Amino acid sequence: MPLLLKYQTVNQVSVMVEELMPYGGRIWMNKQAIEVQDRTVHGHFGRFAAMVSGWLGSTWAFVVAGLVVVLWAATGPIFHFSARWAMVISTGTSVATFLMVLLIQNTQNRDSRAINLKLNELIRAMDKARNQMIDIERLTDLELDEMQATYEKIKTAWTDRQAKNTRGTQEK
């Protein structure tokens, strides 16, 4: 259920969230309820990008694109395979590619953000999870490399323990 309604106060947002999460759940970030944003150009573009990328990823979009290419090829003899005829498909595909890159990037950004928020919530909800892992996507590459090296050491230690346990079981 998309949150497209305008709310004037944090209390209204809390009531709306309680309706969505009837067992006492609330969305908290920095100890304040998240306020639903008013509709903006950014919001309209996000909905437009989601709708268009959904359609352009469909079978029908592929069929339409294939028909355009077939029609273009069929008109070749009519236009005597001229440079203008070739430029039409070249320009059309260049413009379409440019726009699709922007739509795909918008979709990727939104999906990545949603996944990170879901992972942050899982980390926050688990008692034994390290809360330092929340928002690590904002770290520098050097900090991420250090963190990756730490986890590789943990994995190596675990693998070594597993190998010792396996050998110990086989020797008995």
Distance CA 25, CA 99 (A): 40
pLDDT for the residue 128 = 83
pLDDT at 39: 60
Q: If you count them, how many residues does the chain have?
A: 172
pLDDT value at residue 124:
85
The pTM (predicted TM-score) of the whole model is: 0.53
In this structure, which amino acid lies at residue 170?
A: Q
Domain ranges of the chain: 1-38, 39-139
DSSP state of 86: H
DSSP for 91-102, written as a single string: HHHHHHHHHHHH
In this predicted structure, what is the pLDDT of residue 4? 42
Q: What is the pLDDT of residue 162?
A: 92
pLDDT digit string (tens) for the chain, length 172 residues = 344 444 344 344 443 444 444 444 444 444 344 444 446 777 788 888 888 888 888 899 999 999 999 999 999 999 999 999 999 999 999 999 999 999 889 888 888 888 988 888 888 888 888 888 888 888 888 988 898 898 899 999 999 999 988 877 776 6
Residues 6+ apart with CB under 8 A from 33: 10, 13, 14, 17, 26, 27
Residue 12's pLDDT is what? 40
Give the DSSP letter of residue 58: S
Residue 66 · residue 37 · CB < 8 Å: no
Question: Comparing C-alpha atoms, which of 112, 2, 100, 113 is closest to residue 55?
Answer: 100
